């Protein structure tokens, strides 16, 4: 590469942009569609196929953390949004905003991580863009990924299908991603080992949907955690969620860190987990399917749907009380994804 | 809105993010698909329909300039990439990276401009995302738009179909966008009136393709200008482009500014123009069609395809000489889009 750091000219649309595209992006992502370097990627969709379309920006700070990096996060995040919508993730577009001076070696590591994660998820990176900003006008690297998934016609994932009595399942432990990023920031001097759970969950979701196509609803509890997802989902509905604190899958380490640092694990971001609502009579089948997958080993039923307090998320606490779980304001943990 | 400025919590995925989505984005963009607020938007594609998929980030500085703003640019830019690929732009995803402290009033103006431009282009904004970064870690607002277009089966836009003798058409005057942005930066104290040409060109392109479905190739000359587009297009090909400087549509004002400031109008960004390659015998029909559209009034034949200097762009200058037009390095005008 020209120089060992990102230069403004790498985003200028000229020769240096072309070099960056060929020597960094194409080298890692090459596939017949991307190789065309068309401004818009041509995609064949089978007859009668509906699709799902999503986008997310990633600004996690720092870009590298135990268990992952912004590149893995950007691919997994978009794959996961598609998967929980009941579609099969297939095509990804990536757009980079690079700060002048960002080490080219870091960019290459991130791009390789994106390629590996795309491969793991079975998606193709088919188009992209790069812009640069002056030093001090960005923060190293921001990545926006967009994705197209092929809608599964055998499932119907929608809040509208949720009814009282349905069971609430969480596919794994809470809070690992948020605490891994906090650790990478050196914001507290506690000595602990923790890894982000960032992973594409499309395989896990497929395992569940193949076994339990009557699954009502799926969502990945990222920013704002399980609290935000359940709060937004039950908002203005005729039913609410009742959670059982005892049943929440959580490592003893995350539990103690939350106690020490004053975080509620329900509000912490996860990047390789899914919240699923399934019919009550499908709980066993669901858990069996999920637990058969490496990412679902700790899947557990964490609560149920009830009409006692419509639009509210209630937690039955360990000590036998009950508290309302609020959608967090959003101020606690900026730039976690 | 809560407060008159963007807060970090507006990107935290909690209540403040929800408020921002409902009170700013949904208010401007509302449509049945976006209203679902699904993480992935469901889209119906007709049987046997191929699609085109594109993404671009926009970091223009400043975000407001004569003739447009970053919001209009973000919608038009993605619409235009789809249009020049020979597809009909239909669905847009928008992702925002906002700097803490960005005035909410500016965000609202930008979002309204996006809604108006989407309406003008006949596209729907179907999904989106918002992230925030701390003051000093971004620059007001960055927008990434992704788009899906429906491929026209009656056209075949590809560099592969270009042959010697084909004509090169430019749909309007050169350089207006770049100079309007430079003026907004107050980088030079020259007193001149200039407006960006930023506009969705899908209507203009449709007019051409309906009249001349045998059009070979289309591209919008944005960053790096006509020089970058023609240079990248002819790279490694068995043919090159010969341009006639005399024929270049350019206002006398842009011409004098370029002389004073030392810019080559061929390398300046345009955001409402198209470069088209058409068969030699379709020039008249093409120009007639383009000139019938408000955005194509100044369309002109600016050159042709030749095999004398393969892979090279040559300019026949006003004074009767010939010079090679290089793909610019990319350093001249950062953050022009």
Question: pLDDT digit string (tens) for A90-101?
Answer: 999 999 999 999
Contact B228 A14 (CB under 8 A): yes
Nearest CA in chain B to A146: B146
Nearest CA in chain B to A52: B42
- CATH of residue B71's domain is 3.30.1330.10
- Whether B2 has a pLDDT exceeding 80, the answer reads no
Average of pLDDT values for B308-334?
93
Q: What is the mean pLDDT of chain B?
A: 95
Return d(Cα A77, Cα A69) in angstroms, integer.
12
- Whether B129 has a pLDDT exceeding 80, the answer reads yes
Shared domain for A210 and A124, answered yes or no, is no
Ramachandran angles phi, psi of B60, nearest 5°: -55, 140
Model pLDDT for residues B238-292, shown as the tens digit of each residue: 999 999 999 999 999 999 999 999 999 999 999 999 999 999 999 999 999 999 9
Task: Choose the weakest-confidence range: A186-190, A257-261, B330-334.
Answer: A186-190
Model pLDDT for residues B168-183, shown as the tens digit of each residue: 999 999 999 999 999 9
Nearest CA in chain A to B223: A13
Q: Note whether residue A259 is domain-resident.
A: yes
In total, the C-beta contacts within 8 angstroms joining chain A to chain B are 292
* Token digits of residue A299: 């899947």
C-beta separation of A18 from B223 below 8 A? no
C-beta separation of A53 from B148 below 8 A? yes
- From the candidates A9, A15, A144, A266, which should be mutated to test the interface with B, based on the most B CB atoms within 10 A? A144
Average of pLDDT values for A211-224?
97
Query: B104-121 vs B70-84: helix axis angle to the nearest 10?
Result: 30
A26 to chain B: which residues are within 8 Å by CB? none
Q: Note whether residue A12 is domain-resident.
A: no
Average of pLDDT values for B71-94?
97
Average of pLDDT values for A16-24?
92
Shared domain for B200 and B107, answered yes or no, is no
Q: Note whether residue A291 is domain-resident.
A: yes
Average of pLDDT values for A181-208?
91
- From the candidates B2, B11, B13, which should be mutated to test the interface with A, based on the most A CB atoms within 10 A? B13
Q: How confident is the model at residue B3 (pLDDT cuts 50, 70, 90)?
A: low
Shortest Cα–Cα distance, B15 to chain A (Å)? 5
Q: What is the pLDDT of residue A40?
A: 86
Contact B40 A147 (CB under 8 A): yes
- DSSP letter (8 states) at residue A21: I
C-beta separation of B172 from B272 below 8 A? yes
* Token digits of residue B95: 């992702």
Q: What is the pLDDT of residue A43?
A: 85
Contact A53 B43 (CB under 8 A): yes
Shared domain for B164 and B290, answered yes or no, is yes
A17 to chain B: which residues are within 8 Å by CB? 223-224, 330
Shared domain for A212 and A275, answered yes or no, is yes
- Whether B166 has a pLDDT exceeding 70, the answer reads yes
- From the candidates B22, B25, B53, which should be mutated to test the interface with A, based on the most A CB atoms within 10 A? B53
Q: Note whether residue B19 is domain-resident.
A: no
Model pLDDT for residues B96-120, shown as the tens digit of each residue: 999 999 999 999 999 999 999 999 9
Q: Note whether residue B231 is domain-resident.
A: yes
Q: Where is the domain boundary, A151, A171, A206? A: A151
Contact A52 B42 (CB under 8 A): yes
Return d(Cα A61, Cα A337) in angstroms, integer.
8
Shared domain for B284 and B168, answered yes or no, is yes
Q: How many CB atoms lie within 10 A of CB B301?
A: 18
Q: What is the pLDDT of residue A38?
A: 80
Q: Note whether residue A14 is domain-resident.
A: no
Shared domain for A241 and A309, answered yes or no, is yes
C-beta separation of A58 from B129 below 8 A? no
Average of pLDDT values for B134-158?
96
Model pLDDT for residues A235-293, shown as the tens digit of each residue: 999 999 999 999 999 999 999 999 999 999 999 999 999 999 999 999 999 999 999 99
Model pLDDT for residues B48-80, shown as the tens digit of each residue: 789 999 999 999 999 999 999 999 999 999 999
Average of pLDDT values for A188-195?
83
Q: Note whether residue A245 is domain-resident.
A: yes
Shortest Cα–Cα distance, B45 to chain A (Å)? 6
- CATH of residue A165's domain is 3.90.650.10
Q: What is the pLDDT of residue A3?
A: 56
Shared domain for A222 and A310, answered yes or no, is yes
Residue A50: which of B43, B52, B130 has the nearest Cβ?
B43
Nearest CA in chain B to A127: B54
Which residue has better confidence, B43 or A311? A311
Q: What percent of chain A has pLDDT over 70?
A: 99
Contact B148 A148 (CB under 8 A): yes
Q: Where is the domain boundary, B121, B151, B181? A: B151
Shortest Cα–Cα distance, B267 to chain A (Å)? 9
Contact B55 A146 (CB under 8 A): yes
- From the candidates A18, A36, A40, which should be mutated to test the interface with B, based on the most B CB atoms within 10 A? A40
Number of domains in chain B: 2
Average of pLDDT values for B288-317?
98
Q: What is the mean pLDDT of chain A?
A: 95
Shared domain for A190 and A120, answered yes or no, is no
Shared domain for A124 and A242, answered yes or no, is no
Shared domain for A46 and A98, answered yes or no, is yes
Shared domain for B96 and B172, answered yes or no, is no
Q: How confident is the model at residue B230 (pLDDT cuts 50, 70, 90)?
A: very high
Return d(Cα B1, Cα B9) in angstroms, integer.
13
Nearest CA in chain A to B100: A334
Residue B12: which of A95, A128, A330 has the nearest Cβ?
A330
Residues with Cβ within 8 Å of A212's Cβ and at least 6 positions away in sequence, in order, are A278, A282, A285, A286, A289
Contact B40 A146 (CB under 8 A): no
Q: How confident is the model at residue A206 (pLDDT cuts 50, 70, 90)?
A: very high
Nearest CA in chain A to B138: A138
Contact A144 B57 (CB under 8 A): yes
Shared domain for B99 and B69, answered yes or no, is yes
Q: Note whether residue B23 is domain-resident.
A: no
Q: What is the pLDDT of residue B1?
A: 62
Contact B13 A58 (CB under 8 A): no
Shortest Cα–Cα distance, B269 to chain A (Å)? 10
What is the secondary structure of A102-151 as a DSSP string? -BHHHHHHHHHHHHHHHHHHT-EEEEEEEEEE-TTSS-SEEEEEEEEEEE
Ramachandran angles phi, psi of A42, nearest 5°: -80, 135
Nearest CA in chain B to A50: B44
Q: What is the pLDDT of residue B38?
A: 80
Q: How confident is the model at residue A330 (pLDDT cuts 50, 70, 90)?
A: confident
Model pLDDT for residues A111-152, shown as the tens digit of each residue: 999 999 999 999 999 999 999 999 999 999 999 999 999 999
Q: Where is the domain boundary, A135, A151, A167? A: A151
Q: Is the peptide bond before A62 cis (omega within 30 degrees of 0)?
A: yes
* Token digits of residue B273: 């123009």
Residue A53: which of B52, B127, B142 has the nearest Cβ?
B127
Which residue has better confidence, A37 or A25? A25
Shortest Cα–Cα distance, A270 to chain B (Å)? 12
Which residue has better confidence, B44 or B199? B199
Task: Choose the weakest-confidence range: A230-239, B1-10, B95-104.
Answer: B1-10
Contact B129 A331 (CB under 8 A): no
Strand order in the sheet with A275-278: A217-219, A275-278, A167-170, A300-306, A240-244, A313-316, A322-324
The whole domain housing A129 covers 38-151
B234 to chain A: which residues are within 8 Å by CB? none
Residue B43: which of A38, A40, A51 has the nearest Cβ?
A51
């Amino acid at each position: 590469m020209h120089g060992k750091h990102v230069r403004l000219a790498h985003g200028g649309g000229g020769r240096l942009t072309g070099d960056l595209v060929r020597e960094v992006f194409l080298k890692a992502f090459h596939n017949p569609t991307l190789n065309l370097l068309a401004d818009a990627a041509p995609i064949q969709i089978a007859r009668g196929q509906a699709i799902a379309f999503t986008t997310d920006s990633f600004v996690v700070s720092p870009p590298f953390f135990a268990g992952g990096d912004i590149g893995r996060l950007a691919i997994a995040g978009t794959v996961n949004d598609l998967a929980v919508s009941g579609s099969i993730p297939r095509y990804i577009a990536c757009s980079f905003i690079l700060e002048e001076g960002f080490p080219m070696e870091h960019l290459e590591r991130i791009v390789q991580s994106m390629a590996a994660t795309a491969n793991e998820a079975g998606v193709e990176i088919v188009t992209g863009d790069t812009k640069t900003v002056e030093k001090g006008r960005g923060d190293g690297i921001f990545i926006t990924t967009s994705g197209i998934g092929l809608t599964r016609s055998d499932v119907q994932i929608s809040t509208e299908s949720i009814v009282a009595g349905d069971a609430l399942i969480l596919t794994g432990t809470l809070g690992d991603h948020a605490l891994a990023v906090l650790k990478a920031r050196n914001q507290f001097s506690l000595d602990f080992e923790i890894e982000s759970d960032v992973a594409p969950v499309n395989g896990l979701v497929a395992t569940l949907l193949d076994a339990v196509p009557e699954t009502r609803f799926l969502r990945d509890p990222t920013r704002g955690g399980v609290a935000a997802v359940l709060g937004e989902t039950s908002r203005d509905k005729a039913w609410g969620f009742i959670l059982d604190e005892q049943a929440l899958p959580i490592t003893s380490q995350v539990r103690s860190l939350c106690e020490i640092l004053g975080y509620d694990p329900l509000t912490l971001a996860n990047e390789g987990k899914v919240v699923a609502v399934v019919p009550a009579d499908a709980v066993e089948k669901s858990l069996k399917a999920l637990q058969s997958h490496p990412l679902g080993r700790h899947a557990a039923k964490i609560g149920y749907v009830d009409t006692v307090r419509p639009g509210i998320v209630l937690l039955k606490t360990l000590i036998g009380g009950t508290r309302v779980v609020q959608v967090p304001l959003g101020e606690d943990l900026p730039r976690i994804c």
